[in-house]
Structure 1
Amino acid sequence: MKKLSIIVLLFALNWGFAQEEGENTYQKRVLETAEIDLLFSYYNQDGQNAAVTGGEGTEELTDATSSIVVKMPLNPDDVLTVDVGISAYSSASSSNIDPFDKSSRPASPFSASSGASQSDALVHFNPTYEHSSDDRNSVYSAQAYISSEYDYFSLGFGGGYTRLFNERNTQFGASFQVFLDSWNPQYPVELRDGFFDSRISGSGTYDPSFVAFDDETRNSYSLSLSISQILGKRLQGSIFLDLVSQKGLLSTPHQRVYFSDFNDFFIEDFQLADGVEQLPDSRFKIPIGARLNYYLNDFIVLRSYYRYYSDDWGISAHTASLEVPVKLSDKFTLYPNYRYYDQTAADYFYGKEAATSTLDFYTSDYDLSAFSSHQYGMGVRYKDIFAGAKVFTFGLKTIDLRFNKYDRSDGLSSYIFSLGTTFVGN
């Protein structure tokens, strides 16, 4: 009560001085009213190079994600954003962590089992606080992140600073993030203590090269820098740089490898693991890129993007994309887009039975192989600045509907459908 009384007294004194001096204390709010974003996406993929089964096998996966993002103005200068969501997936490849269930079909890397690892859900909670200076030229932010799924838990935090200057023609941004993650390793079933199956066939005795990981944590640290500049009435550009360092268990415990110097052993049609992937316990990544937006006219904008990526695992990659928003009317805009990606292989990538057991590091994860990809997409946005349509006390401001198709040179293909809506309070 004492603290509350002091706060009330200070408020009254400040109000009284403002009245006495005849000052106008009104300041435009950073966010006028609360906003709610409802987001949903559905993702589907398929391929024949599953890392769970040593680089050969089904990659069929479906994922449905829904989240709600609430932006709340705390006062004229401060905004709190809370993002909560859940992602539920079903994966044929991860089901083969234990392919020897009671399914009527013979165990095979090209078909899903019905084991417990076939499906899972990831839940995340991400609050962000932003404070803007009185002149609105500086923005400070702080955020936290928590996510959890069956075999992985992530805790993160970070902060950022944005500064506008040169009559707001130039913007500089800097941010950092820290993620402290931990595994609950789910090793391939045949590598677990006590595994025995009389159906094992092969020449000799099945004796895999496997030792459980001692370190089950993964820490990631990132620093992001960006600068954007209005270059003319129609042209705006930006440059960004990220520095990312990772330490700890960077291998995925349930991804099998098969060695060229080991005999092959099977149960039914499923080859038993010779070991699991082994990757270095540190990784340093440097993406650097640029955006260039050109306002062709009142109806068409060209949004281009390029990024170069390099890391100390031997991967280098190029990404280029173009999006061309086309304004059909005051309320409807189309968003055709295209993205091209190309990367080299990691130093530790080997196809199935190409690595030897004498190597220190090896993986058959085709995400670390050399490949190129194409992504094509189309989106449509409905926007009503007056938010005329109402749902309870909130007005409908925007509806975004997007579809993207992805094709990779190693045969992986996928598509994603997403829907987003934004509601604003009165």
Structure 2
Amino acid sequence: MSVLLIVLLFNWGFSQDDNSNSYQKRVLETSEIDLLFSFYNQDGENAAVTGGEGTEELTDATSSIVVKMPLNPDDILTVDVGISAYSSASSSNIDPFDKSSRLASPFSASSGASQSDALVHFNPSYEHSSEDRNSVYSAQAYVSSEYDYFSVGFGGGYTRFFNEKNTQVAASFQVFLDKWNPQYPIELRNGFFDTRITGSGTYNPNFTEFNDETRNSYSLSLSVSQILSKRIQGSIFMDLVSQKGLLGTPHQRVYFGDVDDFFIEEFQLADGVEQLPKNRFKIPIGARLNYYLNDLVVLRSYYRYYSDDWGITGHTASLEVPVKLNDKFTLYPNYRFYQQTSADYFYEKEMAVSSLDFYTSDYDLSAFNSHQYGMGLRYKDIFTSAKVFTFGLKTIDFRFNKYDRSDGLSSYIFSLGTTFVGD
């Protein structure tokens, strides 16, 4: 799932226009089709699958189609369908002993079944606007599936406009009811035996499979947006998120400092998998401030403070500066900084001891800071002069972002989005 969490982070740039212009919402006049594609690549040497040490090499290609259809003057139906196909050297080492010719090592990939997978999602939503266009009601559903995880969700929201649409207040909720299909490290599965095991004594880990394989998430989002002047628009928001169930990842190994080490070739066998509390509460609070500098330049700033009851606090700050080159082309340089503290349960490899209740070596839960910087280019034709069948090409967005983290993880993503509108 972390893969998904990073991809969503990089696609943040696509959502800026929608969020910053939400006070201009109106009922859709004609059908729209969005075609989205992204290619993501990352590398690092702190893989959680191999206990905080090992290759994090991964590639992911995601494509989706979003169709927005006006059902009548007041109602819009949106359907979002997509697939994300990835290849991961890290997750391939759920089973590193795949009988290939290469030496088993956390720093090289196996060719096992967990090396690649695809996630498919289906996300329909419905939106109704009041006759005076000052109230908007919404409802949505969500289903996704991959080889070890299934998710189903639903939600709804209400938006109210005041002061001739200069003020917007919004509230929404989401519920996700998920289920793991655990893929435990191969050496922890019943019946595992290999004559190549080396170490002092007999390899016999004290491991018990999880009896609760569900993960439920509940969130409430609140926001207020205000046009402060002819040049300034600001908003503040807060989310309340509660999670319950299996919040760890069943295939992420842990190595204890007080347990003997065992190996097959260069691969260290797991002492267990990460154990995390069954409850987590998160509170992100943030603000946006957009400043219209002149006809060519707009400043879009963002700040968010994050805190949870696992001990993590985080700060996010970003700035995007759209520069209008002419009536059709706009450049979007952007920069994002993030810093967080470590979770109470994070330990580097072999720093945890077996008597602890909770432990993980997932560096996503460690203390780190990160920098993301990139550039986007948008083509916009309000007259939709270019046609594909009966649909006119309205916009093309191309973005590139580079991400670097202080623990050595680095990645980049190319994103392409196009919008077509019906006649």
Alignment TM-score, normalising by the size of structure 1: 0.93
Give the letter aligned to residue 46 of structure 1: D
Give the letter aligned to residue 183 of structure 1: W
Residue 314 (str. 1) matches residue 311 (str. 2): yes
> 2: CA distance between counterparts of 1:29 and 1:173?
15
Could you say what secondary structure the match of 2:276 adopts?
coil
Give the letter aligned to residue 35 of structure 2: L
Structure 1 residue 29 displacement after superposition: 7.7
Residue 403 (str. 1) matches residue 400 (str. 2): yes
> 2: CA distance between counterparts of 1:31 and 1:53?
49
Map 1:242-261 → 2, pairs under 5 A: 242-261=239-258
Structure 1 residue 209 displacement after superposition: 2.2
Residue 32 (str. 1) matches residue 29 (str. 2): yes
Give the letter aligned to residue 214 of structure 2: T
Equivalent pair of 1:29/1:77 in contact (CA under 8 Å)? no
Counterpart among 84, 103, 109 of residue 112 in structure 1: 109
Equivalent pair of 2:26/2:133 in contact (CA under 8 Å)? no
Residue 190 (str. 1) matches residue 187 (str. 2): yes
Percent identity (aligned): 87
> 1:286 aligns to what?
283
Counterpart among 44, 52, 62 of residue 55 in structure 1: 52
Equivalent pair of 2:157/2:173 in contact (CA under 8 Å)? yes
Could you say what secondary structure the match of 1:339 adopts?
strand
> 2: CA distance between counterparts of 1:168 and 1:390?
34
> 2:375 aligns to what?
378
> 1:273 aligns to what?
270
Q: What's the RMSD between the two structures over aligned residues?
A: 0.8
> 1:42 aligns to what?
39
> 1: CA distance between counterparts of 2:66 and 2:26?
20
Give the letter aligned to residue 316 of structure 1: T
Give the letter aligned to residue 97 of structure 1: I
> 2: CA distance between counterparts of 1:223 and 1:409?
32
> 2: CA distance between counterparts of 1:185 and 1:115?
16
Map 1:205-220 → 2, pairs under 5 A: 205-220=202-217
Residue 131 (str. 1) matches residue 128 (str. 2): yes
> 2: CA distance between counterparts of 1:371 and 1:30?
43
> 1:388 aligns to what?
385
Residue by residue over 1:164-186, the C-alpha shift from the partner in whole angstroms, topping out at 9 and shown as x without a partner, is 00121100000000000000000
> 2: CA distance between counterparts of 1:209 and 1:324?
54
Instruction: Kindly name which structure, 1 or 2, has the bigger radius of gyration based on alpha carbons.
Output: 1
Could you say what secondary structure the match of 2:237 adopts?
strand
> 1: CA distance between counterparts of 2:383 and 2:124?
28
Residue 148 (str. 1) matches residue 127 (str. 2): no
> 1:4 aligns to what?
none
Residue 364 (str. 1) matches residue 379 (str. 2): no
> 1:20 aligns to what?
none
> 2: CA distance between counterparts of 1:209 and 1:174?
46
Give the letter aligned to residue 274 of structure 2: E
Counterpart among 314, 317, 320 of residue 323 in structure 1: 320
Give the letter aligned to residue 122 of structure 2: F
Residue by residue over 1:128-154, the C-alpha shift from the partner in whole angstroms, topping out at 9 and shown as x without a partner, is 000000000000000000000000000
Residue by residue over 1:264-314, the C-alpha shift from the partner in whole angstroms, topping out at 9 and shown as x without a partner, is 000000000000000000000000000000000010000000000000000
> 1: CA distance between counterparts of 2:178 and 2:394?
37
Map 1:227-238 → 2, pairs under 5 A: 227-238=224-235
Residue 340 (str. 1) matches residue 331 (str. 2): no
In 2 relative to 1, CA 29–275 (structure 1 residues): closer, same or farther, beyond 3 Å? Answer: closer
For this pair of structures, how many residues does the alignment match? 399
> 2: CA distance between counterparts of 1:214 and 1:299?
58
Could you say what secondary structure the match of 1:124 adopts?
strand
Give the letter aligned to residue 34 of structure 1: S
5+ unaligned residues in a row in structure 1: which ranges?
Answer: 1-27
In 2 relative to 1, CA 29–177 (structure 1 residues): closer, same or farther, beyond 3 Å? Answer: closer
Give the letter aligned to residue 399 of structure 1: I
> 1:121 aligns to what?
118
Give the letter aligned to residue 277 of structure 1: E
